[in-house]
A and B are shown apart, each in its own frame.
Chain A
Amino acid sequence: MSPVLVCEGLHKSFGERKAVDGVGFEIAAGETYGLLGPNGAGKTTTISMICGLLHKDAGTVIVDGEPIEVSSVGARRALGYVPQDLAIYPDLTAFENLAFFAKLYGMRGVAVTAAVDRVLELTGLADRGKDRADEFSGGMKRRLNIGIGLLHGPKLLMLDEPTVGVDPQSRNAILDSVDALGTEGLAVLYTTHYMEEAERLCDRVGIIDDGKLVAEGTRRDLIAGIGQRDRVTFEVAGHVEGLAERLLELPGVDGATQAEGRLEVVLKGAAARLPELIAAVSNGTVVKGVAVHEPDLEAVFLHLTGKALRD
């Protein structure tokens, strides 16, 4: 079966700055693909080119067999888009918001009502359909925001960091909803800088940094790719300048980064080398806490880019 989304060699520059540099990947029906990277890595620019919101400098995007350009109209029917910000009309009711977009996607009459009712049910807003969106809690607005993207039954749903600024409870509700989407045969492109979200939701993950896709695969493949490396986190205080650089000089340390009293180190066999690491870190620094993590996507990112995801 041919993939729902095929993008190849995407390039986009803003002036001298390369925002996206040769990104390409595919997503099959029923697959959830995560684009994982820190802020400014090029995730939103990539998704904007896939949607036809930005002109591509180079590359192709094909959705459901149709090329997508800024000028495409009909081909965009296969796309569902959930932007990073809350893209709803606060002075319209939930029903009016959904009905407006349903009609914009060409639905008429009873089809509009049926689609709106289905999405209100799906997002848990069935009893709030007649309320204005500006009366909703942040989580409810987020759910309505996602619901609009699902309304017309797209082949590909793109969610651009949908949980940014969301409280933990609403975040879980959103993740549960997205988790269920893949099982309905929908291809999902999910961008995030939260490693846990990518690990929980995504069948495959593309790691993006500085506009480049530096690795791609299943969680298992990506972790296997860096060997059995562990991630060690130190909570530190005192003189921390140059600490990460000093640790990188230790044999076997593959990555080290520090920010705001937090030091992260990636290396093989961390448990056995912990005393050596603590001694190195303690030199002029107060160690307030240490944790050793099993290999995860955070370690993969640190190993591949030398940076932490939140940098």
Chain B
Amino acid sequence: MRRTVGALLRKELLVELRTLESVPGMSLFAVTTFVVFHFALQRSSVDGDLAAGILWVTLLFAAILGINRLFVADADQGGFDGFLLAPVERTALLVAKALALLAYLVALEIVAVPAFALLLLGPSLGQAMPQLLGVLALGDLGIAAIGTLVAALAVRTRARDLLGPLLALPLLVPIVIGGARATSPLLTLGHAGDPPTRWLLTLGLYDLVFGLIAYALFDFLLED
């Protein structure tokens, strides 16, 4: 299983490196969205709840872009059929795709978080950075698990670009709740507080439950 996942993951990342169809788009979208927020909110700097909200919403919508594209190549070019013919566990595809999406999200955040700090964020990030990275990691795990399941569900329907986001957004709301609540104390002006453990636990629990659900259900999506 691990070897299959490794092979599939390498293929995913190689394809992404060569075609660059997800990550640059997601990152550019995030930066552009920050600019839009500046004009829409008519503010030059944000902090606290507002900053946490803007960051999470932008990351969420950029992630949706990545989720939309996740299985498109497989569906359009026969990748599913090829995979089904191979004598490997089908869940390996889920794990590999989820890890790939996780990698895309991390790459996105490497661009988006500094851009956010530069363009919109009032307080400086330096002290709160490790905690922020922790919260982002927890959120990313959840987005990756749910995003991969939803992407697989939506890709072989007729309105895949529409159904994907419509399915994913409500399912990702608790992650936004937990992520924003955990991030706001890190972005407050003056003294940065600690993310409340309650929300870290909520995020972790949510990630775990939906990771397990995705793992259990993925096989059923690939049967034909």
The answer to whether A and B assemble together is no
A residues contacting B by CB (< 8 A) are none
